[in-house]
Structure 1
Amino acid sequence: MVLDAETGAVLVLASTPSYDPGDVSMLDGEKAEKAFERLNREKLKPLLDKATRELFPPGSTFKTIVAASALEAGASADTRVRAGRTYQPPRGGQPISNDAGDIGGSCDLGRIPLIEAYAQSCNTTFAYMGAEEPGNAAVRKEAAGFGFGDRIEYAEGLRSAPSSFPTTDQPVLSALGSIGQGSTVATPLQMAMVAAGVLNGGEVMRPHIVDKLRAPSGVTVDTISPKRLSRALTSGQAKQMRDMMKAVVDRGTGKSLRGTSVLGGKTGTADVEGASYNDRWFIGFGPRNDPKYAVAVMTEAPGYGIESGPIAARIIDALGD
């Protein structure tokens, strides 16, 4: 999924695996029905538009919203925040740990700058933020500012599934949701809107597929003007978020993308209950010399979110041609 951050124009919308519409719309109704049933049984659901109508746990890409809520509450990118190897939410529940690969790194330290916690994707930092400070209500408000909870209309008659973050007074549920697990779910469209809002100075534009309507003669009869959906951040807060996303690529979990067209981003790996694969996310922006595209890529396979990063880079490269 790729958006023009300044206008909201949808530049890339892809869902895989796909299917041949001719297989289910042929004149032979019996064959069409069998093809439909076969496609409906496939594990990766080719009949669904996964970019806009399917919901997935966003993993650590959701930490972008939690970090933004901390900025909104008065923190800065340099504010030292709680980290540590594990975090126990108040009132019980399982302790939340950092990824095993973080052991011995900066996430193990007691307090580190917010920009470092974001770059290294410290689960304990963002779980604490969602559960205690700034807390569930602050994260919910920030998520709503980016479009969570809304069925986003991206063309006349076409609306996305609503992304959501839990409303709860149970710290453990808010903690899990704040690291993009538990009850938090999002569409790739929504997460592209998060990256686009950060890139566009805090303004989230309404996504749209159609720019112009033309009569059969070719004459333009209507032009779709860009429309602002909301303001999620001040321009100063958005700049700090861009700096944090750049740090991910410069020295954090996305550092393998250094030197590519991706200027900033956030990785995310979400466990899928009962599945042998993960939801592997990357959101970000580029190209490096003139960032204007916001991208969200989600792949379903074993491994980590960074493995979706090179796909994002190749898409940005293609748009720059």
Structure 2
Amino acid sequence: MPILITGGAGYIGSHTCVELLNAGYEIVVVDNLSNSSLESLKRVKELTGKDFAFYQIDLLNRQDVELVFKQNKIEAVIHFAGLKAVGESVRLPLRYYHNNITGTIVLCELMQEYAVKKIVFSSSATVYGMSDQVPITENFPLGATNAYGRTKLMIEEIMQDMYVSDPTWSIALLRYFNPIGAHSSGRLGEDPNGTPNNLMPYITQVAVGRLKELMIYGNDYPTVDGTGVRDYIHVVDLACGHVKALEKIMASTGVEAYNLGTGQGYSVVEMVLAFENATGQHIPYLMTDRRPGDIGVCYSDPNKAKRELGWSAQRGIKEMCLDSWRWQAHNPYGFHKKEEEVTV
């Protein structure tokens, strides 16, 4: 019986599709392609040599989503689909609440109706808000500081309530830290719309010549060099974490949250230097003021995932940088765009 992957054409979703197919799972992918490309799914098939069903539908359309459940005997769900830009969520909060929460409710209602009570949810470390302690464990206080993070936190609470109402549910809430990197083939990677919101695609777009310089927001934090420190995790390690979480929910009931990170923090300047050392590419940067709401240091304690899922990050910062650059160099304009290549 197949695993339903919502948002499976996206950055993390597509890498997870590869790992699931390679692990022998059958999958069905749903994506509205609002922030992703059909090309990513073609490349998933190319990399794995396996085919799967794809539905271009929106979770807000209950009739379309129900068709997926009618046509496929779904065994479990991995739920990635959702709007994800923090800055945009501050400008357009109602859009984020409607899309992310309503879409999830539609999905969960249909799961309940069709007796599919196993779900892995793509949450985020943003649910910890402005935590002033590190490393962050799963039992830290929760309190997001923007609409995007609040949608993740509200969905976690909805899923907690679902389990209280019906203890036959099995739910894993995966709180990601900072995913970077790409598939080692250079065929799959992060392809953001417009100017990147995240550090690594910003760095790689400077390296490939699409952007002039990297903007570093804040150099007066209490860190090794004054720039913000984050926990960066290779996207393939993250994808493997979903396979392990799926194994867990297939074999048990309950609801548990897990941090997916490396447990080690790197500053922005350290990341720039690591990228330059790994790739030989020079990254000019400009220091500017802090962004409102940013905190100085944030990294995970990933021991619960190691203990209960048998998962830990395997790839180091050099591999993250090399794989990010290989993807960008071979796909300077992302999916479906000019196939100019840069010498790696």
Q: TM-score, structure 2 length as denominator?
A: 0.25
With structure 1 as the length reference, what TM-score do the two structures score? 0.26
